[in-house]
Amino acid sequence: MAVITISRGSATGGMLLAEGLSKALNYRIVRREDILQGTARFGIAAAKLEKYLFGPPTFSDDFKHDIRNYVAFFQAALCEYIHKGDVIYLGNVGHLLLRDIACVLGIRLIAPLDFRIRKLIEREKMTREHASAYIEKIDAQRRAWALFLYGIDWLDPSLYDLTINLENIQIDTAVDIAATAAKQNRLSETVQCFESFDNMLLASRTRAEFAADARMASYDIEVEADASTATVYLDGRLPSDLTQHAVSIAQSIPGVSKVDTSLLENIEPVA
C-alpha cells in the first residue's frame, strides 16, 4: 500500500502529473468523483455531498454538524480505495485526511497564473477574464475550506513533502521527480505505517456508519481504533439508551470484535 496525493489549484496540470505517475509506477488514479461515488452506500446523493464538501462553506451550527458527517463518509470511501492497493489521489486536502499515515507522499503542484489561464482557455474555451475570475474564486474557496476544516492554510509549503512549480519544469520532468520521490517514500512503508492505516480504516468505517444511522447522526462521537486488537474506542456524550445501539453498529463492522465505551458520558435521553 502506497499513496500519493496531489493538491493543486485549477488548471495547474494535476491530471497530467497523475497520468504520468500512474504509467511510471502502475498506481491507480482516484479522483474526487470516484470518492463521491463510493459514498453512495451511505444513502446520500453524490451531488449533495459535493455541494457540502466543495461549495462555499457557511458557519451555521447545522452546517458544521452536517459537514462532520459528510467528511466521515468521504474519508471512509477514500480509505476503502487505498485498502485495495497503491493509489494516486487527485483531490484537495487528501494529504490532510490521511495525515496520520507516514507512507503518504503529499505533492503540491503549482503553476504561474498565466499558465493556468491559458489552460482554461484551451480546455474550457473561457475568455481570459472569465478564466482569471474562476481561478481566483476556486483558489479562495479551497483555502477557506482548509481553514474551516483543519485550521490551516493549504498554501503552507510545510504541509507537503514535495512542491513542483511548472513555470520552468516540463511535465515529463515533473513526473520523473515525483516518481523518484515516490519510490524513495516506499522505504517508509514500515509495520507502523500499515498499522496506522489499518487503525484509520477501522475508525473511518465506524464514523461513517454512525453518521449514516438516523439515531446516531446527531451526536458527535470521537472514534479511535486499534486494528491489532480489533477494538474500537468511543468518546463523547451519548444518551444511555443509545450506548448499546452504538456498540451494535460498531460490532457489525468487519474487523471489529470489541467496543470500549469507558470514555462515553451518559446523558439524559432525548424526549
Query: Are residues 184 and 217 part of one domain?
Result: no
Q: Is residue 197 part of a domain?
A: no
Query: Are residues 100 and 219 part of one domain?
Result: no
At 217-230, the pLDDT tens digits run: 999 999 999 999 99
Q: What is the pLDDT of residue 190?
A: 75
Query: Are residues 221 and 126 part of one domain?
Result: no
Q: What is the pLDDT of residue 256?
A: 97
pLDDT mean over 161-179: 94
At 230-261, the pLDDT tens digits run: 999 999 999 989 999 999 999 999 999 999 99
CATH code, 125: 3.40.50.300
Q: Distance from CA of residue 93 to its chain's centroid?
A: 6
Query: Are residues 109 and 239 part of one domain?
Result: no
d(CA 57, CA 18): 28
